[in-house]
């Protein structure tokens, strides 16, 4: 496998085009001023203005380029990844797997503490060599070259990258779709996976993509059903992208405000409920950097088509494997453990009241602490 150094280098013409498109946006009427129907136009205008005129993309691009990045080709698909090696001799290889709507940008505030723990108040023996791949269709693993890039195919490609890098044994962390890739890697890579830490939140159990729940009591099942009913409207994005991804792709590829609000609405809904606005839950510059990578890389259309392939791959939940797996939940919900670990057998379980679906952006320090604690036993 040939690994090519990669530098984020967005042409100035593309940056200027982004500002022009935002300036020429045809704004919808504001029917209501709250978030009940999605991102209200007043807030969308404010964020778009910030993105076009108050956001320093060159500075953020330089920050991204401070991390070594590479691309390779697997089955004709360009795959982008960050690879930061630690100076500590005993560092453990660790792959961080993003979900939706995320990318490698989500983990940038964690890389320093993971790779150089001593410089960030930690212990040398907790150091990691970190690899952060962009799922095909996301980030700069674009354009998506063909259908069929589901969780299984992605996991095989990522394992091939780790082997090429010389990592014959490594750990995994993943949430959302990344959790599915991590679980599949435990099967595909076998003993090469030392252990996997799965990140979850209350919304993760309120979907149809979950384990059997026949062990729940009648009261618990009723509560779970209520959680699912309350989240039905929240998963409209998934119904659309898993049925007609190409139709939504036109708007995501052509309108920066469409791409911006498509992501921001999920950040609003899925971060800690006590945070009133997305910018209260996550750093606004990091959020706009995430959106910018989607825009400049064409990740909106790629992500939509990836989700379509995942939904149509008929991969069963919880295929058996023997790799040690821990869980860390962000956002308290008593049913999470009852659903995901009903017998209390997982080797590591932790819950945090803070954070939500995007812990690497919301509470990166907490997630770093969990990674250090979980993997101490598997180094």
CA distances from 117 to 111, 170, 239 (A): 10, 18, 41
User: The domain at 4-378 falls in which architecture?
Assistant: 3-Layer(aba) Sandwich (3.40)
What's the burial of 169, exposed, middle or buried (CB within 10 Å: 0-12/13-18/19+)? middle
Beta-bridged to residue 79, according to DSSP, are 72
**Measured distance CA(298)–CA(302) in Å, rounded:** 7
Beta-bridged to residue 81, according to DSSP, are 70, 133
Q: What is the pLDDT of residue 178?
A: 97
Name the helix (H) or strand (E) containing 364. Answer: helix 364-375
- Ordered by start, the domain boundaries in the chain are 4-378
Q: What is the pLDDT of residue 373?
A: 98
Residue 290, number of CB atoms within 10 A of its CB: 27
Contacts of 268 by beta carbon, 8 Å cutoff, 6+ apart: 35, 39, 277, 278, 281
H helices present in 57-191, as ranges: 57-64, 108-115, 151-164, 177-188
Q: What is the pLDDT of residue 318?
A: 66
Q: Backbone phi, then psi, for 273, in 5-degree steps? A: -65, -20
Cα Rg of the chain (Å, integer) = 20
CA distances from 245 to 235, 238, 263, 295, 306 (A): 14, 10, 15, 16, 9
Q: What's the distance, CA 30 to chain centroid?
A: 31
Name the helix (H) or strand (E) containing 4. Answer: strand 4-6
Contacts of 279 by beta carbon, 8 Å cutoff, 6+ apart: 287
Q: What is the pLDDT of residue 316?
A: 63
**Which tokens is 30 given?**
């504001």
Q: What is the pLDDT along the chain (379 residues), one digit of tens a residue?
A: 899 999 999 999 999 999 999 999 999 999 998 999 999 999 999 999 999 999 999 999 999 999 999 999 999 999 999 999 999 999 999 999 999 999 999 999 999 999 999 999 999 999 999 999 999 999 999 999 999 999 999 999 999 999 999 999 999 999 999 999 999 999 999 999 999 999 999 988 888 777 889 999 999 999 999 998 888 888 899 999 999 999 999 999 999 999 999 999 999 999 999 999 999 999 999 999 999 999 999 999 999 999 999 999 976 666 789 999 999 999 989 999 999 999 999 999 999 999 999 999 999 999 999 999 999 999 9
Beta-bridged to residue 133, according to DSSP, are 81
Three-state secondary structure call for residue 75 = coil
Three-state secondary structure call for residue 175 = strand
Q: What is the pLDDT of residue 10?
A: 98
Three-state secondary structure call for residue 104 = helix
**Which tokens is 62 given?**
């330089």
């Amino acid at each position: 496998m040939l690994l090519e150094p990669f530098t984020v280098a967005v042409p100035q013409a593309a940056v200027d085009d982004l500002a022009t498109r935002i300036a020429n946006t045809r704004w919808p009427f504001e029917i209501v001023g709250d978030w009940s129907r999605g991102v209200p136009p007043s807030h969308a205008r404010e964020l778009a203005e910030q993105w076009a005129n108050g956001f320093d993309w060159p500075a953020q691009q330089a920050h991204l380029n401070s991390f070594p990045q590479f691309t390779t080709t697997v089955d004709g698909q360009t795959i982008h990844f960050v690879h930061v090696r630690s100076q500590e001799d005993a560092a453990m290889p660790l792959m961080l797997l993003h979900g939706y709507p995320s990318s490698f940008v989500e983990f940038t505030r964690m890389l320093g503490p993971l790779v150089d723990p001593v410089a960030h108040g930690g212990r040398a023996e907790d150091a990691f060599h970190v690899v952060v791949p962009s799922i095909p269709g996301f980030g700069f693993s674009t354009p998506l070259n063909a259908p069929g890039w589901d969780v299984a195919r992605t996991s095989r490609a990522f394992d091939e990258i780790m082997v090429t890098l010389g990592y014959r044994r490594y750990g995994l962390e993943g949430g959302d779709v990344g959790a599915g890739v991590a679980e599949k890697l435990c099967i595909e890579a076998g003993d090469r996976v030392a252990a996997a830490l799965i990140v979850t939140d209350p919304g993760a159990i309120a979907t149809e993509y979950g384990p059997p729940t026949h062990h729940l009591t009648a009261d618990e099942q009723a509560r779970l059903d209520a959680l699912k009913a309350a989240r039905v409207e929240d998963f409209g994005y998934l119904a659309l992208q898993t049925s007609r991804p190409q139709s939504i792709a036109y708007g995501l590829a052509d309108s920066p405000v469409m791409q911006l609000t498509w992501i921001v609405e999920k950040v609003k809904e899925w971060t800690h409920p006590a945070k009133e606005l997305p910018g209260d839950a996550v750093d606004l510059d990091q959020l706009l950097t995430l959106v910018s990578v989607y825009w400049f890389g064409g990740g909106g259309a790629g992500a939509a088509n990836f989700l379509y392939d995942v939904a149509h791959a008929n991969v069963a939940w919880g295929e058996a494997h023997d790799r040690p797996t821990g869980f860390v939940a962000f956002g308290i919900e008593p049913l999470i453990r009852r659903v995901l670990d009903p017998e209390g057998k997982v080797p590591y379980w932790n819950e945090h009241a803070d954070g939500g679906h995007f812990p690497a952006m919301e509470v990166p320090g907490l997630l770093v602490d969990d990674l250090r604690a979980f993997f101490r036993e598997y180094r």
